[in-house]
Structure 1
Amino acid sequence: MNMMVSRRALLGGMALGGAVSLLPGAALAWKDAGADLYPATHGFIKGFVDRRELAGTLAAIGKAQGGATFFGAGTQAMDSAKPVGPDTLWRLYSMTKPITGIAAMLLIEDGRMRLDQPIADFLPAFAKMNVQATPDGSLTDVRPARTRITVRHLLTHTAGLGYNIIQKGPIRDAYNRDGLVGGQVSRLPIPGLPPITPAPSLEVFADRLAKLPLVYEPGTRWSYSLSLDLLGRVIEVASGQPFEVFLQERIFTPLGMGSTWFHVPQGAVARLSTNYFPLGPVLFPVDPATNSIYLDPPPMPYGGGGLVSSARDYDRFLAMLLGEGETEGVRIMTPETARLAMSNLLGDDVDRRGTFIEGEGFGAGGRVSLAGSATGEGVFGWGGAAGTIGFVDRTRGYRVGGYTQYMPAEALPFQRDFGKAFYRDVMR
């Protein structure tokens, strides 16, 4: 059975430095320069294994276009002796969002869609949307939307859409009923969570979503949502290809990301880590690697939270971003498009109060730091529900990834404080 995440389990992205158990003892995965080059980051990630809070942790840090430094501690699972490494597979969850955002930017560069084009040009069912009079209130007390949803709105979570992990009341129940979810967690039944049958395709997903009211007027408020999943359907229609095929042909294959999938092939199962729920001093294996829900094709390719990848692969994606569309002699987009994708695409009038990005900007699927941010301008990236985090710092010329597997991400401070540890190393 596909068990969808709890309200908090897919939140992801809250950590650019500002978001006695059954575990084995600490074990460094391999000898390298990590401890010398990045001592604060090394000590931070190793500490979770030393304290027996996590099975394995990993960091991947690269400077400019040079090779990444990979360093880690622990193993792929509590019951595994295999150390984590650059090719260990991790559930990215919402770290999928920047990849989907870049896919949309490729189509904008191709001239197949425009940043401020209404998505109804591709999905006519979204031409006339209603908005709840009271967010999370009645499904029948609605009014016509004054603004049509655009591609920019989907990229930046300002379309007015909801998330079953965020919303409450009737709209959350409707999302659950219609299978409008942004990912999957386990084959196991999870106490307290309703059984949900996910929409069987991106087309059905979009059609069902269009029939429900919006939570907010488009363009007025940043609200974490299913917008990047819906964008996957827009990409399908605009490109004339299945979403997953477009990603493979335009991003994964050119960049050499040979270990990035929506489901793990049998030949790669030995590299998959286990995902855990921390329950006091014990880690409960909610998605064991040997029986993972990611071993089967998903009902649909979740553009907001569906990918599995390795640190080595995701570093290639980050290297492309840091290279403004190019890495290792391969260019997938122009510098102008890459800079636009990583810029703040939000207007000053977008309400961000009380959200994950209060005081920050947002680009093509990832948070954008502003002049007043602790890091200053130039940081772009996002995190995932199972504790992962990835970002580029264009000002200082770094690409950074932190990897482990537990959820919800706020259950432990790995994701929240990983960026802080990194900046202690590079800003000392």
Structure 2
Amino acid sequence: MPGIVAAIGQGDAPPTFISSGRISDDADARPAGPDSLWRIYSMTKPVTAMAAMMLVEEGRLELDQPISDFIPAFGNMRVLEAPDHSLASRPAKQAITVRHLLTHTSGLSYQFLGPKTLRQEYDRLGLLGGRADAAGRERQPSTLEGFADRVATLPLLAEPGTQWNYSVGIDILGRVIEVASGMPFDRFVQMRILDPLGMKSTYWTIPASAAGRLATNYAWVEGRRVPVDPGASSDWLRPNGVTYGGSGLVSSARDYDRFLQMLAGHGCVDGVRLLDRETVTLALSNLLPPGVQRIGEGTPDTTAAEGFGAGGWVYLTDVPQGVRAGTYGWFGAAGTIAFIDPETNVRVTVMVNYFPATKWPVHSDIVRTIYANSNQISGQHQIK
């Protein structure tokens, strides 16, 4: 990979930054470092989820509240009868709730996952739930409200609350946040999370003043590393029109560590409190509906992470020579990784940008390396 940055911290201590390489293969590219910018894609999801948990804490949302209270178009959903064969559907027996959106158990899907029949419909309606090329952008809804209303016209992959299916649910949650808070979703995130935490290098659209810090995104084509979104001309330098809560942010290792430190600090960091301790404990617990016992397609090498919290996996058991039960985190499509281990109070952010994210076993490698520094890590042991 051209460059990589890791931010690793424990307790209240500032993070240690470890970096190597540059932000692109260009001869004059800057060294990768704590303030380099990376497309974090689905690592946006935990940020959106915590924004929703703020509204839960304030009583403006409830976990088991139907989202049709905020988006009426979701009031009469239908469920596919034979997902692998046709779009024939029946009325849903349960309403989609806030909990379902937070945990990917809503029955919604993604344009690149699930059965072909449903994928084609998501594609036909321009429901990518993220940035697209020029042609794709013309087909996408121009507002988050329009996106949510259009998604609501499609049948569900499964009955709400019965299966884990990676989906645009966190994007829909952004619209719920808009309605519940009475302000645009991106403004709510900026005012309630990014600004209070001092996350000054986290953007929906990168300003010209920061453009030189953006890494190039790569893909492997026939064994060669090929730039697919050069930093100097990146699509993130232009407004997308819709700020998607499932994949829209660019951030730095320093900034995302700040977000993790807030979670590790039970909602508070350096005297700035964003969430009550009880709310963070709830958000980082297993929120899956009864009967849903395992997460699946769309995850990295996290086979032991059988639980799911607010926007991220939760390990329910210890992994031999690896993370501890209670570890919460998520990853991004271009290889970024972030997690916190409440038992050891360790937090980890890794920034890279390449497709596919599974090209290298970064997650398992870094977990093995960190935990190998102590035979029995506990809250009283320091990781060196």
TM-score (normalised: structure 1): 0.83
Gaps of 5+ in 2: 377-384
Percent identity for Structure 1 against Structure 2 = 50
Counterpart of 1:330 in structure 2 is 272
- Deviation sequence 1:233-270 (CA, Å, 0-9, x none): 00000000100000001000000001111111111001
Length, aligned pairs only: 369
Q: 1:135 deviation in Å?
A: 2.3
Helix, strand or coil at the partner of 1:402? strand
Q: Which has the higher contact order (CA 8 A, sep 6+)?
A: 1
User: Which letter does structure 2 place at the counterpart of 1:227?
Assistant: G
Matching of residues 281-360 of structure 1 within 5 Å:
281-352=223-294, 354-355=296-297, 356=299, 359=304, 360=306
Counterpart of 2:188 in structure 1 is 246
**1:61·1:68 contact (CA, 8 Å) conserved in 2?**
yes
Helix, strand or coil at the partner of 1:72? strand
Match of 1:162 among 94, 97, 109: 109
Distance across 2 between alignment mates of 1:240 and 1:126: 19
Q: 1:283 deviation in Å?
A: 1.1
Distance across 1 between alignment mates of 2:70 and 2:176: 6
Matching of residues 11-410 of structure 1 within 5 Å:
54-79=1-26, 80-139=28-87, 141-184=88-131, 197-352=139-294, 354-355=296-297, 356=299, 359=304, 360-374=306-320, 375-410=323-358
Distance across 2 between alignment mates of 1:297 and 1:427: 48
Distance across 1 between alignment mates of 2:210 and 2:114: 36
Distance across 1 between alignment mates of 2:360 and 2:126: 29
Distance across 2 between alignment mates of 1:261 and 1:385: 17
**2:162·2:289 contact (CA, 8 Å) conserved in 1?**
no
Change (3 A) 1:165 1:406: same
- Deviation sequence 1:29-85 (CA, Å, 0-9, x none): xxxxxxxxxxxxxxxxxxxxxxxxx10011100111111000110001000431011
Q: 1:348 deviation in Å?
A: 4.4
Helix, strand or coil at the partner of 1:175? helix
Distance across 1 between alignment mates of 2:161 and 2:303: 16
TM-score (normalised: structure 2): 0.92
Counterpart of 1:413 in structure 2 is 361
Counterpart of 2:382 in structure 1 is none
Helix, strand or coil at the partner of 1:425? coil
- Deviation sequence 1:352-397 (CA, Å, 0-9, x none): 3754465510000000011354423121110000000001111001
Gaps of 5+ in 1: 1-53
Helix, strand or coil at the partner of 2:355? coil
Helix, strand or coil at the partner of 1:81? coil
Q: 1:181 deviation in Å?
A: 1.0
Change (3 A) 1:82 1:185: farther
User: Which letter does structure 2 place at the counterpart of 1:61?
Assistant: I
Q: 1:298 deviation in Å?
A: 1.0
